[in-house]
Amino acid sequence: MEALCVNRKENPLRALTMRNAALLMASLLLGSMALAGGKRATAQGPSEQFATAEAMQVIPKGATITNTTCKSIDVGASSRYQCTITYSP
């Protein structure tokens, strides 16, 4: 017996939309992942204020903030922000 194989062509626009949706979901799941290493703390969030606040949570008490930078990350049709705070102990 011969097996029937149905050749389905996937719509490239749908694949792109699904990829953007997956990227958005991944970034939301990672949410405000904050990384502290050395004298910097970095976090992501839906706004600059949120990302900055998340990064500030991992800074040691008594540390002095010397610089704050944020950049916009385009994810699909929306933006997220990554903020890095530099501090001295």
Which pLDDT belongs to residue 31? 47
Angle formed at CA 66 by CA 65 and CA 68, multiple of 5 degrees: 85
Per-residue model confidence (pLDDT) at position 21: 61
Extents of the domains making up the chain: 31-88
> Rounded CA gap, 45 and 62, in Å?
25
Q: Model-level pTM?
A: 0.58
Query: Within the chain, which residues score under 70 in pLDDT?
Result: 1-38
